[in-house]
Amino acid sequence: MQSTAMVKVAEMMHIVMVPWPSQGHLNGILRLARYLVDEEGVLVTFVYPNCLYQLALNRGQSKAALSKTAEDAGANAATTPLFLSENLHIEVVEDGLPLDKAPDLGSFASSISTFRQGVQLLLRELIRPAPSLCSNGDGLKSYTHSWPTPRCVVADTFIPWVQDLADAVGIPRVDFWTSTAAVYSMGSQMELLVSKGVLPLSKSCWVDQDTKWTAIAPFIEGAPGLPPFPVTELPVEFIRPEAATAPEFQFMLNAFSRIPEAHTILIHTLHELERPVIEGLRAAELPVYAVGPLPEGLPFTTGSASSAVATNDCLQWLDTQSPCSVVYVALGTIVKPTAAELHSLALGLEASQRPFLWVIRPDLIGTNQSLADALPSGFLQRTVDRGHALVVPWAPQTQVLAHASIGVFLSHCGWNSTLESMLEGVPMVACPRAAEQRSNAKWITEIWKMGVAMEMREDGSFSKEAVESALRNALSEDGSVFFRKQARHFKQLARAAFQREGSSRANIQHFLRILRSLNEQNSGKEQHQEGSAKSFIGVLGSFAS
């Protein structure tokens, strides 16, 4: 006889979630998983790419902390499902990526088949009607509990092949986008821009063919919800001179060209932040829903965020600083400033005469270099040794930003960092380096006006003077009052998103109603029946708001 708990589980909605294997992409979707489980009573099977799992362990997270059961703590991470809570099932899947460095688009492209195969096996396993207790011999374990067939697979926009896997098992793919609606809108135009011959940019568009950042190309028109904008605002991978032959370009083109196949699109943004763009995307018949900024959930969502050493070092040092005085500097998990840029940052920070907490990841320092070698001569003695600064390999960023001593966040404008800064009402100094960060920086500084843009040279590099001047502007008496007021306004909006009447909460509930309705429509039908995807579109239409 089934227990009451088992009966209840059988009635619950089950969703599979697949991130793109990089920290910046993992964080948002993992937060969504936790939210669905904790607040909406959904069962989630979450694919955790092995390279990120190992990275989290290496950064000081104990296996026991990653997995809440004693059995899992001693088991082989690559093959063992981890149970973080009764209703959140983490499945570590081999991704073929190197464990010693953050994966880039290039390395991911070459290892794609390993990850794809792992996800495919998992999906097939989950769709099996009856669970079994033994290993299936493919390195994946079968479940020991009977969760219902997944209703959909939510996957990062960068892994569009999940569409094929979802089609094969007869469930819809839901696209999860980890950046702004604005950049999604730009991406939705990529195929068209290629067919019109606008992209890849012709070499004649470049002032200097060795320069990655400066283009004299036309404005782009027609992106849903966006006014015409200069081509240089497109993500760097779209426009760099070597784009035509770069694997990243084809990779992006492939990802964005499969947008129309997704049954619904969840964007990790806030409706109130990007209303015209979201409305423009909907008018273009893209079923988008803003579902951010998702609250931080799992302790390991930010790598070593809960690593006791990093947390204590940073927070204790921040406790010794005056309110709103400290510059927090962190460039995310991928961006690699050049040696000259590291020097400009160091000297600009020193010249600003403000206390600072600076994250310098180990991979930013040469293999045979020490931290001191990577920085200007005597810099650490003049700053850290005198108690004016702290330099760490990794910081508990969300806790740092929440600390009362933080005055400004000098950031590369990665979207997670931007949302985290917004959630704490911290003004920003924008130092975009790659990907879609130039567009994010524009919104932060020109539209939301919650920070200062650092002046860039034509080739996209920056000087010590640019760092110093941006910090002085942001922290000047007038500047700090103005930017803090703006940042506080967005903090309120961001925090309201998941309150009772909050827009993102309502959007998530709306999305779940669509899935439930699909469930009802399909009840009594075969799970693998062709056409379930089409009926999903029908249901979506009837819910469209």
Ligand X SMILES: O=c1ccn([C@@H]2O[C@H](COP(=O)(O)OP(=O)(O)O[C@H]3O[C@H](CO)[C@@H](O)[C@H](O)[C@H]3O)[C@@H](O)[C@H]2O)c(=O)[nH]1
Is residue 399 close enough to count as binding ligand X by CB under 6 A? no
Radius of gyration of the chain (CA): 23
CB of 428 to ligand X, least distance (A): 11
Is the CB of 150 or the CB of 187 nearer to ligand X? 187
Minimum distance between the CB of residue 481 and ligand X, rounded to whole angstroms?
Answer: 26
Q: Report the residue from 50, 185, 398, 445 that binds ligand X according to the rule CB under 6 A.
A: 398
Least distance CB 70 / ligand X (angstroms): 27
Asked if 59 is part of the footprint of ligand X (rule: CB under 6 A), the reply reads no
Tokens matching residue 163: 């569409």
Q: Out of 19, 187, 287, 303, point to the residue binding ligand X (CB under 6 A).
A: 303
Stretch that binds ligand X, among 205-213, 218-226, 435-443, 482-490 (CB under 6 A): 435-443
161 contact partners, CB below 8 Å, separation of at least 6:
112, 116
- The distance of closest approach from Cβ of residue 405 to ligand X in the complex, given in angstroms and rounded to an integer, is 17
Work out how close the CB of 446 gets to ligand X at its nearest, in angstroms, rounded to a whole number.
Answer: 18
Q: How far is CA 174 from the centre of its chain?
A: 16
Rounded to the nearest 10 degrees, what angle do helices 247-257 and 105-127 cross at? 40
Cβ-in-10-Å burial (0-12, 13-18, 19+) of 376 comes to middle
**Please, which residue, 415 or 462, has the CB nearer to ligand X?**
415
Residues paired with 174 in a beta bridge:
154, 264
Does 414 help bind ligand X (rule: CB under 6 A)?
Answer: yes
- Least distance CB 521 / ligand X (angstroms): 33
Instruction: Enumerate the β-bridge partners of residue 391.
Output: 358
Q: Is residue 305 involved in binding ligand X (CB under 6 A)?
A: yes
Tokens standing for 394?
Answer: 């990794």
> Would you say 14 or 258 has its CB closer to ligand X?
258
Smallest gap, in angstroms, from Cβ of residue 415 to ligand X?
A: 3
Going by their DSSP bridges, the two strands 88-93 and 81-85 should be labelled as antiparallel
Residues 327-366 vs ligand X: string with x where CB under 6 A? ---x-xxxx-----------------------x-------
Q: Smallest distance, Å, CB 298 to ligand X?
A: 12
Q: Is 157 one of the binding residues for ligand X (CB under 6 A)?
A: no
Q: Who's near 304: CB < 8 A, 6+ residues apart?
A: 56, 59, 60, 61, 310, 394, 396
- Indicate whether 504 belongs to the interface with ligand X (CB under 6 A): no
Q: Does 306 bind ligand X (CB under 6 A)?
A: no
Q: What is the rounded CA–CA span in Å between residue 483 and residue 524?
A: 57
SS3 label, residue 46: strand
Near ligand X by CB under 6 A: residue from 9, 93, 270, 395: 395
User: What phi, psi does 430 have (nearest 5°)?
Assistant: -90, 120
Residue 291's nearest CA partner among 17, 59, 10, 11 is 17
Question: What's the rounded Cα separation, in Å, for the pair 443 and 438?
Answer: 9
Which stretch, 62-70, 210-218, 409-417, 458-466, contacts ligand X (CB under 6 A)? 409-417
- 377 burial type by CB count under 10 A (0-12 exposed, 13-18 middle, 19+ buried): exposed
Residue 120 contacts ligand X per CB under 6 A: no
Pick from 45, 163, 178, 507 the residue near ligand X by CB under 6 A: 178
Query: In the complex, what is the shortest distance from the CB of residue 434 to ligand X, in angstroms, rounded to a whole number?
Result: 6
Q: How far apart are CA 364 and CA 375, in angstroms?
A: 11
For residues 309 and 60, is the Cβ–Cβ distance under 8 A?
yes
Which window, 61-69, 110-118, 202-210, 433-441, contacts ligand X (CB under 6 A)? 433-441
CB 45 within 8 Å of CB 30? no
Contact flag: residue 46 with ligand X (CB under 6 A): no
**Number of amino acids touching ligand X (CB under 6 A):** 28
Is 232 a binding residue for ligand X by CB under 6 A? The answer is no
Residue of the chain from 435, 493, 514, 540 that contacts ligand X (CB under 6 A): 435
* Smallest separation (angstroms) from ligand X to the CB of 402: 11
Please select the residue that binds ligand X; options are 157, 321, 405, 416, rule is CB under 6 A: 416
Q: Does 292 bind ligand X (CB under 6 A)?
A: no
Nearest residue to 511 (alpha-carbon basis) of 484, 468, 545:
545
61 lies in the site for ligand X, by CB under 6 A: no
Query: Does 118 engage in binding with ligand X (CB under 6 A)?
Result: no
Which residue in 15, 19, 27, 406 binds ligand X (CB under 6 A)?
Answer: 27
Q: Which of the stretches 78-86, 236-244, 302-310, 423-431 binds ligand X when contact is defined by CB under 6 A?
A: 302-310
Neighbours of 491 (CB within 10 A): 18
Site for ligand X contains 256 (CB under 6 A): no
Task: For residue 56, give the nearest of 17, 34, 85, 30 by alpha carbon.
Answer: 30
Name 390's bridge partners: 357
444 binds ligand X (CB under 6 A): no
Stretch that binds ligand X, among 34-42, 193-201, 213-221, 411-419 (CB under 6 A): 411-419
Q: What are 267's strand-pairing partners?
A: 177, 290
Minimum CB distance to ligand X smaller for 292 or for 303: 303
Contacts of 147 (CB under 8 A, 6+ apart): 9, 12, 14, 43, 45, 89, 126, 131
Q: What are phi and psi of 302, to 5 degrees?
A: -115, 50
Question: Does residue number 179 form part of the binding site for ligand X (CB under 6 A)?
Answer: yes
66 or 514: CB nearest ligand X: 66
User: Binder to ligand X among 437, 439, 473, 507 (CB under 6 A)?
Assistant: 437
Does 439 participate in binding ligand X (rule CB under 6 A)? no
44 contact partners, CB below 8 Å, separation of at least 6: 14, 15, 16, 17, 33, 36, 37, 87, 88, 89
Q: Which residues form the interface with ligand X (CB under 6 A)?
A: 23-25, 27, 178-179, 302-303, 305, 330, 332-335, 359, 394-395, 397-398, 414-417, 420, 434-437
